[in-house]
Amino acid sequence: METNAWKVMWREIRHDKLALLGLILFVVTVVTVYTWALTIDQSAAAIVNVRNMNQPPSRTHPLGTDPGGRDVLEQLVLSARNSFNITFIMTIAGAIIGILVGLLSGFFGGHLDNVLMRILDFYAMFPALMLIIVFISMIPSYSVVTFAVLMIVLWSWQGTARLIRIKTLQQGALDYVSASKTMGTHPLVISFREVLPNLVSIITSNFTLNLAMNMGVETGLTFLGFGLPFATPSLGRLIAYAQMPANMTNRPWLWLPAALLIFLMMLCVNFVGQALNRAADAKKRMV
Amino acid sequence: MWKTILRRVLILIPQLFVLSVLIFFLAQFMPGDALRGMIGPDTTPEQYAILRQIHRLDDPWYVQYGTWMEGILARGDFGRSVTHKRPVTDIIGERMMNTVRLSLLTTLFTYIIAIPLGIFAAKKKDRFIDKSIMFYTFLALSMPTVVFSIINLFIFGFRLRWFPVRGSVDAMAAAGTLEHAVSRLHHLVLPAVTFALLSTISIIYFLRNEIIDYDASDFVTTARSKGVPENKVYTGHILRNALLPVAGNAGLIIAGLFTGSIFIESVFAYPGMGQLFVTSIVGRDFPVVNTLIMFYAILTVVSYLVTDILITIIDPRIHIK
């Protein structure tokens, strides 16, 4: 009975109403945000117009205006796009590094495994978020790229690497790997062409759950002022308007939409991730 | 077991050394002058030069690192804060108790919320109540700490005015009085409950799965077939075994709370170590930042170690290596 891992995952999502709803809502939001952002003239959207500052929602500005007189809805769309970009890049890069490190470490073992595991042990004691904050405040003119690199190197891959290493170790003890070894298959072929496809469902569910987590972390760091650069509109920056009591109580249109959007997106992704998680473990599958 | 603990403590020493070199090295790139904490507007250039010499600031960074380490190891001296113009240990000491209070109360609330929910969810597995509790864990998992803090602050602090919106104690209350203690608690409740509602997830999942697993295990079936009353099976056999590891995880939860305090204390303007870290970074106060990072790193490894030791004591089948 040959079942494709992707088919199993899709079946699990289809049978879980919340996961299906989450997937649809997430895809629709991402597509809307990216296409909408294309239609916005970014330099025009960034122009400060003091006469329009802090206007409540109206017909011309459905979500009101910010302290710079800019349309909050436009800012929200641009922010969402920037936040999605950084989260996708960070999660994809983290998954690639994590898979490579975990697979090589778990499959080849020996000195390579030892060295990589000591590095991971060091990361485990490492107050990663604090060091990211230190780096960001230290680099004189840091950009989106610096932030992405910092998040990838210091934050995004360690959990995946540990998980993939354990799963590779389990696969390595199975008969098909020993059989392939006796037949003289090249170790790299075994690890990437034979072991890796068996980990697809675990990788996908781990990727999805990381995506949600990274969205939250990026928002938190940007909120504190140590995330995306100041000139880049981002959801964390919009939420940070709430740090001023006057904005928090009297002008919820500034920060509430961004706060709800990030929460809704993380919720959708987590619903999908949980369904995928079940698909990765035959004992937990619902169908 | 003591041998393995000793070995793990010994492994920590090189790790902490590498971390301390790393952060000290980084501090060299930080803009700002390490003497700002000691000079005033009337300091002459000659005095400044002498001060630089006394503090050996013209030495290369690795020599300075040696002096810094010597101060820490020999005298417990972590340097002086640049902005507060006082020893780092004093400043962190003042803030530490606030963070410890917040973490303890949060841990307490976390267990008070999580244990009943985990038990209910397992008991009513796949029924409406279980599904609602699982839905709550999804909400908590998907809620960024800052977003939930802001929304709670907005509703319960600014709109309903049930709780104060900033600080750790009412400035009008005299220290030592009952009023002072009550005011302190009043300031703590909202951040602690906010934080606790988000940190229950792992305990609920763990407890629920443990209870479901034990419920189907051989020794429970044996107990039931011997005719042990159901409520006795539940409290004496299932809960007893399922709860112990949960208690053992307290160390990890507390370590997580200390890291999360960076976000929660900033939103609630609560003067703890997390807020101190953020304000010190903004104020380029590197002696404080360095010490805080080292403190958090040590706290993390110690709580991992304590958790591992607790778990082996609780469950003798587990050996740490």
Task: Read off the DSSP letter of residue B319.
Answer: -
Judge: A242–B150 Cβ closer than 8 Å, yes or no: yes
Chain B residues touching chain A at CB-CB below 8 Å = 11-12, 15-16, 18-19, 23, 26, 29-31, 138-139, 141-147, 150-151, 153-154, 158-159, 165, 259, 262-263, 266-267, 277-278, 281-282, 284, 289, 292-293, 296-297, 300-301, 304
Instruction: Output A69 or B197, whichever has higher pLDDT.
Output: B197
Residue B33's pLDDT band (cuts 50, 70, 90):
low
Mean pLDDT taken over chain B: 84
Whether chain B has a CB inside 8 Å of the CB on A248: the answer is yes
pLDDT of residue A90: 95
A223 touches chain B (CB under 8 A): yes
Cα A278 from Cα A283, distance rounded (Å): 8
pLDDT, residue A1, reads 40
- pLDDT band at residue B36, thresholds of 50, 70 and 90? low
B55 band by pLDDT with thresholds 50, 70 and 90: low
Kindly determine whether residue A266 and residue B142, on different chains, have CB atoms separated by under 8 Å: yes
Confidence at residue B37, expressed as pLDDT on a 0 to 100 scale: 59
pLDDT confidence tier of residue B303, bands split at 50, 70 and 90: confident
Integer CA distances (angstroms), B18 to A123, B21, B24, in order: 11, 5, 10
User: Can you name the residues that pair with B170 across neighbouring β-strands?
Assistant: none
First to last CA, chain A: 16
* Least-confidence region, from A186-200, B103-117, B192-206, B230-244: B230-244
Model pLDDT, residue B34: 59
The H or E element that residue B228 is part of is none
Query: Which residues of chain B have a CB within 8 Å of the CB of A215?
Result: 144
Nearest to B30 by CA among A150, A138, A225: A138
Residues of A in contact with B301 (CB under 8 A): 125
- pLDDT of B39 above 80: no
Choice among A272-276, B8-12, B129-133 with the minimum mean pLDDT: B8-12
Question: Which among B142, B293, B300 has the least Cβ separation from residue A270?
Answer: B142
Instruction: Give the model's pLDDT for residue A126.
Output: 78
Q: What is the rounded CA–CA span in Å between residue A259 and residue A240?
A: 10
Note whether A130 contacts B: Cβ–Cβ < 8 A.
Answer: yes
pLDDT score, position A247: 87
- Residue B30 has its nearest CB partner, among A138, A226, A252, at A138
* A127 lies within 8 A of chain B by CB: yes
pLDDT of amino acid B82? 72
For the cut 70, the answer to whether the pLDDT of residue B320 exceeds it is no
For residues B159-179, give the mean pLDDT. 80
Residues of B in contact with A134 (CB under 8 A): 23, 26, 281, 289, 293
Q: What is the pLDDT of residues A226-280, one digit of tens each?
A: 988 888 889 999 999 988 888 888 888 999 999 999 999 999 999 999 999 888 8
- Lowest mean pLDDT segment, chosen from A260-264, B131-135, B159-163, B300-304: B300-304
Out of A212, A226, A252, closest to residue B142 by CB: A212
Q: What is the pLDDT of residue A24?
A: 96
Spell out the SS3 assignment of chain A.
CCCCHHHHHHHHHHCCHHHHHHHHHHHHHHHHHHHHHHHCCHHHHCCCCHHHCCCCCCCCCCCCECCCCCEHHHHHHHHHHHHHHHHHHHHHHHHHHHHHHHHHHHHHCHHHHHHHHHHHHHHHHCCHHHHHHHHHHHCCCCCHHHHHHHHHHHHHCHHHHHHHHHHHHHHHCCHHHHHHHHCCCCHHHHHHHHHHHHHHHHHHHHHHHHHHHHHHHHHHHHHHCCCCCCCCCCHHHHHHHHHCHHHHHHCHHHHHHHHHHHHHHHHHHHHHHHHHHHHHCCCCCCC
The low-confidence residues of chain A, meaning pLDDT below 50, are: 1-2
CB contact under 8 A, A245 and B151: no
User: pLDDT exceeding 70 applies to what percent of chain B?
Assistant: 93
Residue contact A263–B29, C-beta within 8 A: no
Q: Rounded to the nearest 5 degrees, what angle is found at the Cα of A190, between the Cα atoms of A187 and A192?
A: 105
pTM for the model stands at 0.87
